[in-house]
Every structure is written in C-alpha cells, then in structure tokens.
Chains A and B, each alone.
Chain A
Amino acid sequence: MLVRAFISHYRRHPFQLLALALMITLATMLWTGVTVLTDQARNSLFQSEEAVAARVQVVRTDGQPVTVDDFAWLRMAGVCVAPWLEVQRPPPEGRVIGIDPLALGCFGESAPGGEAGDLDGEPFMDISEAAMLSAKGADSQLYLLAGTDDESLPETYALKDFSLSPPTGELADSFLLNLDALSLLVLLITGLLVRSVHRLGLAQRRDSLALLHRFGVPRRRVRQLLVLELMALTALCVLPGLWLGAQLAGVLGGGFGQALDNLFDVALYAGSDESLPWRAAGVMVLLVLAVCLLDWVLPRRWQNAASSGRGLRVAGLVLLAGLTGVVLAPGLGWVFAGTALVFAGAGWLTPALLAMMAQRLSGSASDTGVSPLLGWRRRELAVMFRQLALPVVALQFAVATVLAVQALVTTFENTFDDWLAQRLEAEFYVEVPVGADAELGAAQLRELEGIGPWHRVTRGEASISPADNDGKGAVTPVDLFALGPVGELVADWTLLESSARPWQQLAQGGVMINEQLARRQNLEVGDTLDVTIADTDIRVPVVAVYADYGRPAGEVLIHRAQLPEAFSAGFESFSVNPGERTMAEISDRLADVWDTSNLTVRDNASIRALASRVFGQTFLLTRAISLLTLVLAAVALLIMGWVFFTTRAWYFQLLAVWGLPATMLRRQLQRLAVTLTLSVTAAALPLGIWLTWVLVSRINPLAFGWSLPMAVYPMFWLELGLVAAGIGLVIARLMRRQLEGPTPLPPASRMTGAER
C-alpha cells in the first residue's frame, strides 16, 4: 500500500518518469558508445605495438617486391619467415591482414594476432582468405616477417625494419588522452542532465512525500523507497542504454577503424566486441546514484552557499584559477585539470549571471523604459535560468564543446590543406626502390633536357645538441630530412620564422627545424646546433622554423650536400615536375636505371585525395561524439523546459484571463523559450572560443608539438544559434497545446511552480 502511494505520483505524471528513464537510457548509450570506442582504440594500439615490436622484414636486394616464391625458398633454406599479406578493401571496410598461423609458429609466443591458430576475426584473417580478397582485385602487398637476429639469410635478401609507419607511441598516447578527456566531458554532461531531470521530478513530488511523512512514514523510510525506486529504474534503463551504446559504437566503429588506420597506420582495429560493456554499466549506475543522491550527502549549508554571493565569488576564483592554470601548465595533465576548473567555474557562474542579467534587463517597477509585459517575460527568464540551472549548464558545455571541436577540425583541415599544398608543389613523386642507388636516378634527371624543377628527398636519422652544450647536455634523436637541389619547388614554403633568404642560407650550410623541435628544445632562428649524422658532427645555424603537422618527432632539414658518406638513408624519393617531358618517359628511364619493373610513382592529386580522406576519417569520431552530446543536451533541455513550462503554465493562463489575446500569448511563450536557448548558446560562445584556444595553442603543442592558428567561425555560431532557436520553438510548440483556448480557473490545489 505504501509503495502504491509512493509511486502514485508517476501514475499521475507518467511523463516525468518517462523523461527520467529516457535521460538515463540516452546517457548510458552515449557513455557506453564512447567507452567502447576508447577501449577498442587503446586495445588496438596496444596490439599494434605488440605486433610490430622487435620485428623485421625480409626484402630483396635487387629492389623487387617479395613474392610467395621468395617465402617458399626462404623457408626451404631454413629461415624463419612468415607471410603478412595486407589487403586494402574499399571504404568503409578498410584494411585486413592475412597471416599464416602455422608459419608464425617459428616465432614462438609473440605472434601477432594472438597465438598461432587463434585468429580473432578482423583485421587478422587466415592468409588464404586474404589471398582470395586480393585475387578479386583488392590492392594488396605481401611482406615477409623475420626474426631480428637471423644470420642465415641468403645474400640476395636483406633485413629491414618492419615499420609501415613512423613510431606512433607519443601520438597515440596524446590521441588516447584526448579521447579520455572527451569521454570525461561526456560523463560530466550526462551526469548533469540526469541530475537535473531527477531533481525536477523530486521537486514536483515534494508535497506528496511530505504528506507521507505527515501520515507517519518515517523520513528514513521515504528515502529508502526513493533509493530503491532509483535503483530499479536505473537497472531497467541501463540495459537498453548499454545495447544502444554498443550499436552506436558499431556504427561509428568503421569510421573509427579507418581513423586509426590512417592516423597511425595501425591496421588492427579489432571491431566491436560482441559482449556488452558491463564496466560502462557499472560506472553509469554509480553516476546516476551519485548525482541523484548528492543532496543527501552534501551538508545543506554547502548547498545553500553554492548559490549565495560568497559561493559565486568562490566560483569566480575557481574560474580564475583554471584560466591561470591552463596558461601556465607545464604538461597536458595540468592543462586538463585547469580546463576542468574552468568548466566547473563557468558552469557554477553561468546560470546565476544569466539570471542576474535577465533580472537587471527587466527593469524595476519605476523604470518606465521597459514595458511591463517585457519586464515580466524577462523575470520569467531569470526564474528559468535559476530553476533550469543544470540543463542550462549541460547545454552550455555541449555547445562549447561542439563549437571548439568544429573550430579545431576546420582550422586543422584548412591549415593542413594549405600546408600540404605548399609541400606538394611537385606534380609527381617517385620512390627510390629498396636497394636502388638514388644517385643514379639523380644523374638521369640531371641529364634530361626539358624536365621541370625537381629535387631529391632523403630521410634518415640524426641527433642534435645545442652548440653551447659542451657535450654535457642531452643529445636528442631527430628525423633527418635532406633536400637537394634547392629550387622552385620549395620557394613558396610558408616558414613560421626565418632569417633573410633562408633557402640560400640552407644551401650554404644552414639548418631548418620543424616547429615541434623548436618548441621542445626552445630553439629559434639564429641559434646554433650540433648535428650528428652517422659518424660526422656538423655545427650549423638555425635559419628557419617550418610548420609540420605530422607526428610529434623533431625534424631537421639540411641541404643534401651536407650528408656524409657514411650516412644510410632510410627512405629516398624524387619530387618531379615533368616540364616538357612526360612522366611516363621519366619513370621508364628511372625504372631502367634502377633495373626494376615495380616503380612507385604517385601524383599530386592522389596524395591530396588520400590526405583529405585521412583527416575526414580522423575527426569523424570527435565530431560524432560532440554532436551526439549536443543532441542529448538539447533533448534534456527540451524535456526539462517542457516540464518546467508546465509548472509555470498557470501564469501564462493568468495572462489569458487578464485578456491577453491568444496570438500574443503564444508569442510571449515563443520569445521566452527562444530567448532561453539562445542565451545559453550565447553563454557557450566565450567558453567555446576559449576551449578552441586551449586545443590549438595549449593541448596541440603539448601533445603533438605543433600549434594551429587560432580561428573562429561565426557562420557555425549562426548555425548553432539556429539549432538553439529551433529547440526553443519546439518547447514553445509543445506548450502551446496547454494554452490553446480559454482556460477555466484552476482550483488552488493545482497551483504549483510559484518559484521566483
């Protein structure tokens, strides 16, 4: 009987129960989706590192690609090699890797993809299946993995690092850290939303709960029932939320796998796990209980102090501490901590400041400059900002996040595009095959009449130390990038900092460094560096700093004339403009001189298309998560706004009783709802712009080593404003039904929501 009386509120107000259930389900869905993707990213990167760690590949010294015959011949010769067949399927399926579990047996325990015979689905599959895909026309490439210390290799073969990309550890850590931060932000926003809906429902039940208490039910018993009710509802709603979250992760997973593939050259995204992520469910149950029952744990004194003048001063100090912390933070962790403080302070202050502003704009009774109806609307707005503080803050955070992510991604795309355009000045790029003599190719190009500008790019490794180091300081390994001849192809490079005539100075023995190295070593133009290349030390002045939106490693650029004899190139290529010649003619001559039939020639357009695809996929997840968060926050505000408006409906009806025409009444409602959502969006703007700055100027330099120009996109603000106005109009539309037509005077017992 007591339980029936207890839950009778929801029989009368099923919408409130539905709203809470919906919010818990959606919050669980979003959190589960993000958790699954982040965990899989972490596992994928871990597997990737495990798979390629301490492994080398066998290549032919004649520069020809290895074939199945090479594999068979090497195995017969007693060399432990295993085939690794990469097959590139068209998007969204992406890359798969065919391996032979039996052949991997000779490596012992550290076989990629698990124990021999234990293929765990995509991206690893049996090599026979991969070969079938390849036979159907998919691009494929065979590699032969070998042990690191195999000395029985015949002379016609050589060992080479099996690294299909540069090392990614640092970049991967940063990527995962950013995903974790985004996940926490999602958790924070969902927590706020669940709490807001639960608090509103509780406020509506205050009278009936008090009645139970007056009828003799102990307060403790009432609380026990509330906890039981919440636990039952959470248990019921978390399950569909988990399932939906797993589905969401599955939908986003394809794009995410591509992102990993492109960003890290990690072809190991394990796809979605069949089992439900129970850990995410546990976190969500704890979150729901914590945010909903927080009021019983916190002393009432604290709760009251939070919205007092003193509380707001504390919020201001928290905000200030966060802002200062982010500027001065020495590491990523501190930046995230400072950002959390800024969000806490902003969230604490925003509803109070908005309410204060609305109150002030409403004018006083003696202020005849504001019409009384407008004054009333602004007072109602102030009430809403106070009563809807939590969903208002959640929407503000979500809008700020979407805004910042959008600005970051757009800026990155634009900047990267410009950067790529200046880097891809040549029309074609020819890779020097493994084992081939690049100098022979260079000689051929020099002899070709009518050929356009070209240069030779040599990549390898070096180390640097500041010239005043006297051998005492740390020696830093860097990537080496050697160029020659220096000509038209690099003339338009935008340098972040440079001396006069930097390319001439480079040709005369200067060094250029990338932004990552300049930031990390605190180097600038005019400094002198000791660069160790193979067995040779050279002392060179820094003549320019260039942008490099790649991995975090430091890089030095020298003229290739400075490369010592002993230097061993890791990778070489030619950037070529054919000029009066055709590229087919040029590549034929190079293939002849290198005695190969398998010359890799890429054109500018295909590289640009690849790069666009890479970045489109890379930011798919970030965009999707932030947009979903925005949708969730919008739905929450819509639900809360609707429920809250319902409690204030009588005051609109009072205006109708006082003779305000129905059209004007509807207009008041629309203006109030739209002003509410637009104000929240406006309040999110400074936070979003600040977050953009943090991402481009603080997090990127610390995580990746490079910064991006700070840019804002007012058109996107406008789009967000339209979305916000749309939410407001939907709230107004939902409320209209209640206000249509004259309303009989309500009995006093129906009077609720008289807060001001």
Chain B
Amino acid sequence: MPPDIEAIAEQVFTALADPSRRTILGALASSGPATATDLAARLPITRQAIAKHLALLTEAGLVVAEPGERRRVRYRLQSAPMQLAQQYLAALARDWDSPLDALKAHLNR
C-alpha cells in the first residue's frame, strides 16, 4: 500500500467537511473549470473566501490551477483524490456481516 494513500483520503474528507468548499467542489464538478471571479458571481461566498478555499483545495490536490482566458487562472476539479477517498468508503460500506448472516440462515433452513 502506498504510504500516502490515507493522507490523501484524509485531505479529501477535510476538504469536504467545510460547506463552502463542498459548494465550490460541487460547482466545479457540475459546471466545469471556473475562475475565482466566476465562482464568486455564482455562489453565495465572498471572493476572498473563495480564493482562500481554492488555495487550500489546490494544496490538497483536489483542484488544479490552469491558464484561462484573459490571463485569468481557472480552477479544474482533480478527480483522482476523490476516487481514492471512494475506495476508503467502499471498504467501509462493504457489508459482509449481513450476507454471512443470510448464508447461515440459508444453511440452517
């Protein structure tokens, strides 16, 4: 197992724990890459707060900054860490207890 796999999942969960960051990630997921100005116009979050959250999300590798039109920086959702966090959730969600109880009940019938 790569040593940083858990650290990456943790960053995803930390990012998602904040409602403003969830809103920003949701906007990038549904409408594609956007500049901080675009996001401020669309979301009920101040331009300053958006810039702060985008910096944190970039640091965590959840969004990536890329050159956009008119020399503005656009932010694009980086899905790899989310997929990794999904693996974590898949392990927690894999329920063996219920089917094994059902197997036992089936054999005892």
| A-B interaction | no
Binding site for B on A (CB under 8 A): none
Binding site for A on B (CB under 8 A): none
